[in-house]
Amino acid sequence: MPEQSPRHLILSLFGLYARAEQNWLSVRALIALMADLDVDAAATRSSVSRLKKRGVLEPARVDGRAGYALSESALAVLREGDARIWSRPRASVADGWLVVVFSVPESERGKRHELRSLLTRLGFGTAAPGMWIAPGTAYDETLAALDRAGLTSYTELFRGEYLGAGSAAARLSEWWDLPAIATLYDAFIADHRGLIRLREPDPARAFAAYVPMLTAWRRLPYLDPGIALDLLPPGWPGVRAGDLFAELDARLRDPAAKHARTLVGER
């Protein structure tokens, strides 16, 4: 299984085990959880420092114990991500397309980079310079993300059907790098299908398998923003990868949480 960034593992831990418990993990608990993911204390502290600088984590003390909490903006991003990660919503052809057009003055070119980064993170494809496209179902999430980033005033949003020459299906590979996305889905399957053999894993082993698996899955629903299957190439591997994730999530989540609660409770 490929090695994963400690920062991404930390975000998974906070998303899984801190949000429901007063949005807080002690420093000792976080180090213990990361140690069970084969990440040492020095790497954990370094990654926490980077997340603090990015405004993702905030220092917080509870009952005199030092720890960290997710910032409000990070909580909002994770809440919006929950639906993509666990529900795997997929548009239909009838949902049409959401098109975002933006114009940024040269004096604010940094905003242009922010907009591109945000739309890329949300899984938008590029239909033309300055014109980004996603399934029509992405409207609410996109508007919330633009509002949160203070970028709404630079954008215009449209929703409708594709009326260009040829079919939308034929143009998808121009808007998204479909082979690259398919390769990532195939890699997820290859890296994690062996976990199916963990029929009744003990909590510690389930935890060590589940958190990296979830961390690997988290970004994939954003790269593939729920494009209608009728428009994607036949046998799209996102379906198989999603089914594998759902099976492993159902099998490993509860025993993994039991192990995490034990570690958090002791610290």
Helix extents (H) in 61-138: 72-82, 109-121
What is the structure's pLDDT at 81? 87
Q: What is the pLDDT of residues 192-232, one digit of tens each?
A: 999 988 777 899 999 999 999 999 999 898 898 899 999 99
Q: Tell me whether strands 125-128 and 57-62 are parallel, antiparallel or unpaired.
A: unpaired
- At 194, list the tokens: 């062996």
CATH fold of 97-160, please?
Alpha-Beta Plaits (3.30.70)
* pLDDT-based confidence at residue 107 (cuts at 50, 70, 90): confident
Q: What is the pLDDT of residues 112-124, one digit of tens each?
A: 999 999 999 999 9
Token digits for 192?
A: 């994690």
Supply the DSSP symbol for 136. Answer: G
Residue pair 194/249 in contact (Cβ under 8 Å)? The answer is no
- Three-state SS for 81? helix
Tally Cβ neighbours within 10 Å of residue 192: 19
Res 57: pLDDT: 97
Q: At 97, which helix (H) or strand (E)?
A: strand 97-102
How does 171-185 read in b/e, with b if 16+ C-beta sit within 10 Å? Answer: bbeebbebeebbebb
